[in-house]
C-alpha cells in the first residue's frame, strides 16, 4: 500500500541521530577473524508504532479508516527511528556487534567466541520481535560483504562486485 505522507511529514519532528561512520565500522569489524552479517526482513515494518502516533498516520479508504500497527515506509524520521531502535537492541553487545540501519555485523576473535556472540544477538533480536532475511545473511565466515566492502581477517576493501 502506498500512502502520501507529505502533509504529515511537513510537521513531523525528525529525531536527530548521528549515523555511524561506515569506514569505522568496516575497520572495527574487519579486524575480526569470524563474522556474521544479518539483514533485516522489511526493516521498518518491524518497528511498532507508538499509540500516540497511530491516529496521526491513519488513512481513509472508501469503506474505513485504518491505523498502522508498524512503521510504514515514507514517514519522515523513519530511518532515524529504525537506527535508534537498532542501537538500543545492540547496546549491551556493542563490543562485538554493530548496526548500520538494517545491516548488522557480529565480529569475534575466535569461532567459539563467535558462537556465543551469535546466540546472544539472536536471543536479543528475537526477544524484541525482529526477524532477518536468511537469504541475505552470511553466518560464521572469515570474510563477508558488509556495507559495500569485503571485510575479515584484518583486511578490508571495496566489494568488487559493486563496480
* Assessment of whether the complete model's pTM goes beyond 0.75: yes
Tell me how far CA of residue 47 lies from CA of 11, 40, 109, in angstroms: 21, 11, 32
Domains, in order of start, for the chain: 31-111+128-162 (3.30.70.270)
| 83-105 mean pLDDT | 92
Question: How do strand 155-158 and strand 65-66 relate by DSSP bridges?
Answer: unpaired
Cα angle 145-147-148, degrees, rounded to a multiple of 5: 70
Could you read off the pLDDT of 12-53 as tens digits, one per residue? 888 777 788 999 999 999 999 999 999 988 777 888 888 988
Could you read off the pLDDT of 97-128 as tens digits, one per residue? 999 988 999 999 999 999 999 999 999 999 98
Report the chain's mean pLDDT, rounded to a whole number. 90
| Cα–Cα distance measured from residue 87 to residue 69, given in angstroms and rounded to the nearest whole number | 22
Instruction: Name the grid cell of 71.
Output: 512503521
Handedness of CA 105, 110, 115, 121 (dihedral sign): negative
Q: What is the pLDDT of residue 79?
A: 84
| Cα–Cα distance measured from residue 162 to residue 37, given in angstroms and rounded to the nearest whole number | 17
Q: What is the pLDDT of residue 47?
A: 87
Instruction: Name the grid cell of 86.
Output: 537498532
Amino acid at each position: 500500500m502506498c500512502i502520501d505522507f507529505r502533509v504529515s511529514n511537513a510537521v513531523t519532528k525528525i529525531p536527530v541521530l548521528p549515523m555511524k561512520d561506515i569506514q569505522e565500522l568496516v575497520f572495527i569489524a574487519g579486524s575480526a577473524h569470524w563474522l556474521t552479517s544479518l539483514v533485516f526482513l522489511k526493516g521498518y515494518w518491524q518497528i511498532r508504532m507508538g499509540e500516540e502516533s497511530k491516529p496521526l498516520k491513519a488513512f481513509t479508504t472508501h469503506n474505513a479508516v485504518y491505523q498502522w500497527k508498524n512503521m510504514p515506509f515514507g514517514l519522515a524520521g523513519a530511518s532515524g527511528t529504525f537506527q535508534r531502535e537498532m542501537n538500543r537492541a545492540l547496546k549491551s553487545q556493542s563490543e562485538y556487534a554493530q548496526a548500520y540501519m538494517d545491516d548488522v555485523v557480529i565480529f569475534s576473535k575466535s569461532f567459539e567466541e563467535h558462537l556465543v556472540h551469535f546466540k546472544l544477538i539472536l536471543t536479543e533480536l528475537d526477544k524484541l520481535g525482529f526477524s532477518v532475511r536468511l537469504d541475505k545473511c552470511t553466518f560464521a565466515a572469515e570474510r563477508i560483504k558488509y556495507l559495500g566492502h569485503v571485510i575479515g581477517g584484518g583486511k578490508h576493501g571495496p566489494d568488487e562486485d559493486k563496480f
